[in-house]
Structure 1
């Protein structure tokens, strides 16, 4: 992150929902990523749902505790398109998903994620696919138990390092852009429109 953006961030309220969204979900908000995880305090849970109501971002609750909520935010059309790519579809089958209906996927994923968080059972690696990670990196992570990666950024890379670096640079730029825009007074729904304009440019 550039010095300029770090200085801007220093002056922002990091507990404010808009700031958290810029830090955690900028690639999704600006239209270059199909999904993102968002962790917020319990007090912000309803605000998140309200914020994305009637937008192209769908909000799904992945896990809750007394103090925080983990959401999966996603663009349904793009997510379904990715899940229907042949290698992704086949890998989801390996993870035990015979249908790609999101309602069925989320029911199973949430149950597995809860067991991982509460009972320390195995991590549901299909979450990587739902976050748009490349299949070869998800499978490489499993085979290598998280070791022997070629590069590490937003995820551990086992396949195309050059492509991953380009993607990570785009995500970092999206974060810097989102921080600048939100610090200057832009609202989240305006940031979504800004992302649409970038996509169509």
Structure 2
């Protein structure tokens, strides 16, 4: 697999996991780019070389995709390296800044040590928190994330607080996140995300570029997906 093929595969994974953010209807998305995304990685007698090639290809794909999306207001950050792959955060700074500046969100994050006046500082602290919980997970054999991460993914404040207070239990329903309030609104939102993702995946597979999918235009095609899901 050459670098161009890897970039195409990487972009397809990004569309699959991050369409609501590309479409501008969600401030951030998170996904793991796993090693098995490269067929045969580590299975040949030259497995070490294959792993190194994978790292080089991933670095190239990240750099290339970041450059493509920069002018369209989309950023990609590598938040952690794990045995299963790398954890990537895709976000729109304008939307994330709006979300984190909500009074109740800003107040909570300030209590947690975040400087909401600096987006870069917030993401850097989130990165450190994730690395810390990864270490705890390794030692305890469990899997965890910093609870506040939902606020960086566009989840409703009430649901993030509900998750923390109930330790992930007693939720009304679950989809993209666990819901503790406004159940019907959340279900409609999940449906809209699903329909929008389906529309974007079809367009990408038909040859529409990633840059085109990142254009924020009310008529393309997130608005149509919203209408279909309503």
Instruction: Report the TM-score when normalising by structure 2.
Output: 0.73
- The C-alpha deviation readout for 1:80-120, integer Å capped at 9, x for no partner, is 01111111111212322244311221222111100111232
Q: Which residue in 1 is equivalent to 2:10?
A: 17
The answer as to whether partners of 1:49 and 1:59 remain within 8 angstroms in 2 is no
Choose 1 or 2 for highest CA Rg.
Answer: 2
Instruction: Give runs of aligned pairs for residues 1-201 of structure 1, distance below 5 A.
Output: 16-41=9-34, 42=55, 43-53=57-67, 54-55=70-71, 56-65=73-82, 68-120=85-137, 123-193=145-215, 195-198=216-219
Distance, in Å, in 1 between the alignment partners of 2:115 and 2:209 is: 40
Secondary structure (helix, strand or coil) at the match of 1:40 reads strand
Secondary structure (helix, strand or coil) at the match of 1:148 reads coil
The answer as to whether partners of 2:115 and 2:121 remain within 8 angstroms in 1 is no
Q: Which portions of structure 1, spanning 4 or more consecutive aligned residues, are displaced by more than 6 angstroms?
A: none
Q: 1:84 to 1:47 in 2, by over 3 A?
A: same
Q: Which runs of 5+ in 1 are unaligned?
A: 1-12
The answer as to whether partners of 1:59 and 1:74 remain within 8 angstroms in 2 is yes
Matched residue pairs, number? 187
Pick 1 or 2: higher relative contact order, CA cutoff 8 A, min separation 6: 1
The answer as to whether partners of 2:151 and 2:160 remain within 8 angstroms in 1 is yes
How many angstroms does 1:196 deviate by? 2.6
